[in-house]
Structure 1
Amino acid sequence: MRVVIIYLMVLFMSFGVQKIFAQEENENLQYKIGQLEKAKSEIILLEKEALKTELEFINQQLDKNDISKEEAQKQKKVYAEKHAKNIENKLTIIDSQIALLERNGVVDLNTDSNQLMIGINAEDDHGNRLFGVKYNSGNQNKIVYDKRTYSDLVVAFGLNNESNGNVLSGSPFKITGSKFFEIGYAWNTRVFKNTNWLRLKYGVSFQFNGFKPNNKYVYMTNTDLGNPYAIILQDFNEATGSDVTIKKSKLRMDSFIFPIHFEFGPSNKKVNGKYVRYSTDKNFKFGIGGYWGINYNTIQKVKFSDRTQIAVQNLSNIFYKDEQTTVRGLSAYAGYGEYSLYLKFETSSSIRKLMNQNVISLGLRFDL
């Protein structure tokens, strides 16, 4: 009798558990169907909002006489048909999912591109998905109508020399041995609202300047000038009384700068139903401005005739003992598209004292 009672209790419990599971499955199924019905309303709302935005843009073009009335009506009809078709197709997909749930309780539908899976309100980078079906394009609909600021990687290189008017003859620096390199990031912002002929270009860059004096010349302290920290370019043999031959002498100055230019030139305007863009590709441009920054490293390297004898001297602490470490200058560029001829003119007082002249640089610039 006891065994019979135990069997009956197990049987009643199993029936109860099955009933609970069936109730939970039914509630879960109704919840999923409810979410799908909600998604249908959201689809209609989002498509109508997208259509409204496009129609507003067409009206703006019409008010500015950028398009004719006939063209405006034509575009409105195209966009209206597109969004109506979008609503029809998306609702058909949702209705199919509801029918599958009501009939089978699960979704098991494969397409060529992806497998529709059960997952309520799953989000990805391009919007919301319901059962694998995208019903909100998310950030793709948030296109900036008029983008006024663009960014570029800036790379420049060329030759350095002093601006004494004798860069080809009489200069203490080797023309091909004194070079500069610059790399940074720049932003280009349109100044006026409805035209792009004037832009403000600004950014941050690392600038590396190298100066290679003619043989026998090195930078040395000179107490005769009344300043124990004065450094001038001198003939090594005359200054030291040594007969050691200088094989190579080079000064390197590294700076972190903030360039800013006004850029002039034509551009191409592109307008469509969702945005307006200005492009300077395949157009001439001219920029003029300057830069300001901080010199964080100044090193001189001297190699004597004996290759084993190399002297490396950090002049930063000595040279900038009583001087500011800031660097500044004027600069300009002119070119076509991404490529420009680049001119710089150093005006820093500390650099001018070191070189006895201002430094002038000429090279190539790439806005990539």
Structure 2
Amino acid sequence: MKTHVLIVSLVFSLLLGLFTQAQETEKKQTKRDSIRAANMREKYPVQIDTVDGKVVKYIDGTPGAHDEIIRGSESAIAALEESHSLYVSDKKTQFKTMIERVNKSLEDNKITEEQADESKAKFAEDLAEIITQHRAKTDAEINLIKVNRTSAFYDYRLEDRATSTLEISTKKGISINIENNRQSQKYIKTTSGFTLGFGYNYMNGDDLGINDFSYPNNNYFSLGYQWKTTLDKNNNFRLLYGVEYQTQGTELNGNRFFSQGDETQITDIGFSTEKAKFRQDQLVFPLHLEFGGSERKEYEDGRVRFQEYDKWKFGIGGFAGFNMSSRLKLKYDLDGREIKETRINNFDNEVLLYGVDAYVGRGDLTFFGRMNFNNVFKSNSVDAQYVTFGIRIQ
């Protein structure tokens, strides 16, 4: 019994010692944390700001965090203010256009003077209400940014909404940001966008014409990116240039195909085929001079924009590029089995290509025709040049 009591006493003493030690360690840690926090407050004092008349504190004591948050949020606020200004300018310009229409109707005796005054008053009332509501929406978003920047939930991506620039300084080093303020530019001379084209093509030459090709399997496809630069103040003359990937597929009729080797010739396959299609993938750089209608629109804040929607246009120019690959796809039956073959880059084709291109259309849709000046194959091979026509969205 005495032995048991002694063991229990020793265990209890050990546990009490460990508990006391843990309490002392916790007290020391708490004291160290308090000292560290005091040092942080002394070194990085809590920043104070005012939002809607209320005093708020910035809880992040990281060096430079306050300045970074302020810089990001102010950039986002500036972007919102600029967006509101553009919105107001657009609405005022729209209001001006509507007033001009009312005056025109009045001059043409389509409405009375009383009706004209009522319409103008209604337009003005609606304009004031729309601008007021948009101002309230903008102010609410700005206040949200100010409130968020005082908490740990602040989203630094708000800074992405700000206008960026490119700065090179001998003192600050190099700061690279892509400029993204075209929306507020007074005059935009160059615009850009994608192009998409598809159509029909064939080869023309001394012994070749459109009737030598099967109609279903001769096709053209292109995908590119182009820039458009206005050449006059009313945007009636434009220069178009860019880069374009295109593929041209042709299939000879009568079970014939283009042979491989040092000299490419038209050869009879000798048996019936389901497919004998020759295709080339190319990269070209088109250049066009475009003529066409354009509506010049001047906004209340001085911005000038051009609208070509629903306007007729005509373009003429050319292209130059190079051939990236050539291939022949064969599909036929042999002893009851379906055979598919692909023969790649074993043709006597020219690498460089060039030609002329013209189009006419309305809005974004145009009908084009183009002709290659270069031979598809080299001089000792079959004489052939591409002729293509189709539809292009640009």
Please, what TM-score do these two structures have when normalized by structure 2?
0.56
Query: Partner amino acid for 1:248?
Result: K
1:135-154 residue pairs with structure 2 within 5 A?
Answer: 143-154=184-195
1:88-103 residue pairs with structure 2 within 5 A?
Answer: none
Query: SS where residue 124 of structure 1 aligns?
Result: helix
Query: Partner amino acid for 1:144?
Result: Q
Q: 1:150 to 1:255 in 2, by over 3 A?
A: same
* Cα distance in 2, alignment partners of residues 170 and 208 from structure 1: 18
* Cα distance in 1, alignment partners of residues 363 and 203 from structure 2: 30
Equivalence for 2:213: 173
1:160 to 196, 201, 208: 201
1:260 to 287, 294, 297: 287
For each residue in 1:79-136, what CA deviation from the matched residue of structure 2 results, as whole angstroms up to 9, or x when unmatched? Answer: xxx9xxx9xx99xx9xxxxxxxxxxxxxxxx97898454279x7623349xxxxxxxx
Would you say how many aligned residue pairs link Structure 1 and Structure 2?
271
Query: SS where residue 175 of structure 1 aligns?
Result: coil
C-alpha contact (below 8 Å) 1:143/1:274 kept by paired residues: no
Q: 1:125 to 1:144 in 2, by over 3 A?
A: same
Identity %: 22
1:316-331 residue pairs with structure 2 within 5 A?
Answer: 316-320=345-349, 324-331=350-357
* Cα distance in 2, alignment partners of residues 151 and 117 from structure 1: 37
* Cα distance in 1, alignment partners of residues 213 and 201 from structure 2: 9
* Cα distance in 2, alignment partners of residues 280 and 349 from structure 1: 37
C-alpha contact (below 8 Å) 2:206/2:383 kept by paired residues: no
1:25 CA drift (Å): 11
Q: Which 4+ stretches in 1 moved above 6 angstroms?
A: 30-33, 110-114, 138-142
* Cα distance in 2, alignment partners of residues 141 and 312 from structure 1: 48
Q: 1:361 to 1:147 in 2, by over 3 A?
A: same
* Cα distance in 1, alignment partners of residues 303 and 222 from structure 2: 34
Q: 1:116 to 1:157 in 2, by over 3 A?
A: closer
1:198 CA drift (Å): 0.9
1:264 CA drift (Å): 0.9
2:371 to 334, 345, 348: 345
Equivalence for 1:200: 239
* Cα distance in 2, alignment partners of residues 251 and 336 from structure 1: 33
* Cα distance in 1, alignment partners of residues 184 and 308 from structure 2: 21
* Cα distance in 2, alignment partners of residues 250 and 153 from structure 1: 28
Q: Which runs of 5+ in 2 are unaligned?
A: 1-27, 56-65, 90-130, 164-178
1:108-123 residue pairs with structure 2 within 5 A?
Answer: 115-118=147-150
Q: 1:29 to 1:217 in 2, by over 3 A?
A: closer
C-alpha contact (below 8 Å) 1:149/1:190 kept by paired residues: yes
* Cα distance in 2, alignment partners of residues 127 and 303 from structure 1: 57
* Cα distance in 2, alignment partners of residues 343 and 145 from structure 1: 36
1:236 to 251, 269, 280: 269
* Cα distance in 2, alignment partners of residues 312 and 297 from structure 1: 12
1:325 CA drift (Å): 0.8
Query: SS where residue 349 of structure 1 aligns?
Result: coil
* Cα distance in 2, alignment partners of residues 361 and 220 from structure 1: 23
Equivalence for 1:98: none
1:309 CA drift (Å): 2.8
Query: SS where residue 171 of structure 1 aligns?
Result: helix
1:1-368 residue pairs with structure 2 within 5 A?
Answer: 24=42, 28=46, 115-118=147-150, 124-127=159-162, 143-163=184-204, 171-192=211-232, 194-221=233-260, 229-237=262-270, 244-272=271-299, 273-306=301-334, 307-314=337-344, 316-320=345-349, 324-351=350-377, 356-367=383-394
For each residue in 1:245-288, what CA deviation from the matched residue of structure 2 results, as whole angstroms up to 9, or x when unmatched? Answer: 33321101110111111111011111111411112111011111
Equivalence for 1:5: none
* Cα distance in 1, alignment partners of residues 357 and 346 from structure 2: 28
For each residue in 1:167-197, what CA deviation from the matched residue of structure 2 results, as whole angstroms up to 9, or x when unmatched? Answer: 9x872111232111001111111123x2211
Query: SS where residue 246 of structure 1 aligns?
Result: coil
* Cα distance in 2, alignment partners of residues 170 and 181 from structure 1: 18
Query: Partner amino acid for 1:232?
Result: Q
For each residue in 1:209-246, what CA deviation from the matched residue of structure 2 results, as whole angstroms up to 9, or x when unmatched? Answer: 0001103211125xxxxxx6111112233xxxxxx333
* Cα distance in 1, alignment partners of residues 284 and 219 from structure 2: 17
Q: Which runs of 5+ in 1 are unaligned?
A: 1-9, 58-81, 94-109, 129-137, 222-227, 238-243
Please, what TM-score do these two structures have when normalized by structure 1?
0.59
Query: Partner amino acid for 2:386?
Result: V
Query: Partner amino acid for 1:289?
Result: G
* Cα distance in 2, alignment partners of residues 311 and 172 from structure 1: 22
* Cα distance in 1, alignment partners of residues 317 and 218 from structure 2: 23
Query: SS where residue 338 of structure 2 aligns?
Result: coil
